[in-house]
Amino acid sequence: MDNVIALGTFDGVHRGHRRLIHMTCSIAREQGMQPLIYTFSNHPLEAFHKTPGLLMSHQARIAMLGGFCPVVTVPFSREYAAMEPADFVRMLLETYHMGAAVGGFNYTFGNHGAGNMTMLRQLGQQMGFGAYEIPPEVYGNAPISSTRIRQSLENGQVADAAAMLGRHYRLEGDLQDGYGGMRLFYPAPTLVIPRPGTYTAWLALDSSQARPCIVEIMDVKQPVRLYFPQDAPSPQTVLGVDFNLPLD
């Protein structure tokens, strides 16, 4: 059976991403095909030795995507980046039996991002597959994007980031010892850390337990301090800190 393939990096799996995936599943049902997400096991910039601030770890991103439909992940390399747009599409047709492709308004592919949704539709007409461009989700009169969410977090606007994500921003990491009602939290090094300040938050211990806390970020390169009103938890592996609102 042919696949309707959702294309993208999907960092953060924000509201715009979820709209694209839901449309992919809808198109697949209507056309008697299977939905499939095609994404990368790393961020494309990492292939060029750059370390972009991520909205979630690769493991968390792929796990969340897998809750919608099957996912194919491939490593993004320099050789992959040099692939011509038509060759990339031909690979999807031959390897994944692509009957239709679905991309966002800003989706690019191929060498130096030479391919865009206009080219994808043209290639679809030539090679015999459907191509669907999904319009953006909008927040505050502007399209939602992973870049915009990163900027909001870096500016301390965690409520705006949550509105665009469709959930609280979760900073993954490890909970360590502190003193009294304070614990040190060491964020995963690849993730965006909100601007230094004080925030209300929830510490997600696991899928069913969360503890309210106050988060103090002194410097994005230092451990985060978590203050608990009572019974501070012991050091352990946790899901992360879910940011709520700034206090300053």
pLDDT digits (tens, 9 = 90+) for 156-180: 999 999 999 999 999 999 999 888 8
Report whether 2 contacts 62 (CB < 8 A): no
Region 59-70 average pLDDT? 97
Tokens at 25, concatenated = 């599943």
Region 104-126 average pLDDT? 93
> Could you please report the per-residue DSSP string of 123-173?
HHHHHT-EEEEEPPPEETTEE--HHHHHHHHHTT-HHHHHHHHTS--EE-E
The answer on pLDDT for 3 being more than 80 is yes
Region 111-138 average pLDDT? 94
Region 67-90 average pLDDT? 93
**Radius of gyration from C-alpha coordinates of the chain:** 20
The answer on pLDDT for 52 being more than 90 is no
Q: What is Dmax (Cα atoms) for the chain?
A: 67
Give residues with Cβ within 8 angstroms of 193, minimum separation 6.
53, 153, 171, 187, 217, 220, 224
Neighbours of 142 (CB within 10 A): 10
pLDDT digits (tens, 9 = 90+) for 182-193: 999 999 989 999
Region 131-135 average pLDDT? 96
pTM, to two decimals: 0.93
pLDDT of residue 96: 97
> Which residues is 204 bridged to in the sheet?
210, 240
Ranges of H-type helices in the chain: 15-31, 58-65, 78-81, 85-96, 117-127, 146-154, 158-165
pLDDT of residue 19: 97
The answer on pLDDT for 46 being more than 90 is no
Q: What is the mean pLDDT of the chain?
A: 94
What's the rounded Cα separation, in Å, for the pair 197 and 28?
45
pLDDT digits (tens, 9 = 90+) for 178-228: 888 999 999 998 999 999 999 999 999 887 789 999 999 999 889 999 999
